[in-house]
Homo-oligomer: A and B are copies of this chain.
Amino acid sequence: MKFSYCGIRVKNLDESLKFYTDIMGMKIVRPPSKLPLVGGTYVALKSPDSEQILELNYYEPNSPYAKPFTNGEDLDHLAFFVDDFEAAMKRFKEKGVKIAVERVDWWQRTKGAYILDPNGIWIEIAETTVENYLRD
């Protein structure tokens, strides 16, 4: 039994695809696929040189799963690790990305911030690597 991906719901598939590809640099690794019985479409994304999979799930207005969109407490955050924190933050600002926390002061280990995706999901930005995250 293997944890295989994290799937988020999106209100607008084009908008979220644009955000996660153009701004967050991910690539589509499974093109948008419709599930007619669900009334939905899903698409899978990966960052280059990373195995972590993010799935975007869109439900059509008449889908039984198209409940009113709310931001819950169950999804705490997604994390993206960067090589150059300042360059990443500069780019987010140029692209008009919403910043939730400009600079976190609770880590000794690295520079970090939180930005918001188009649906209000918190995204941690940290200047580190998975290897360092697992051992520091």
Chain A residues proximal to chain B, CB less than 8 Å:
1-9, 24-26, 29-30, 35-38, 44-55, 57, 67-83, 88, 105-107, 119-121, 124, 130, 133-135
Contacts and interface: CB of A to CB of B under 8 A. Distances in A.
B73 A29 contact: no
What copy number does this chain have within its complex?
A: 2
Contacts of A106: 35-38
Shortest 7 CB-CB contacts between residues of A and residues of B:
A72-B72, A75-B75, A6-B6, A37-B106, A51-B51, A9-B76, A2-B47
B134 A44 contact: yes
Nearest to A123: B3
A107 B134 CA distance: 36
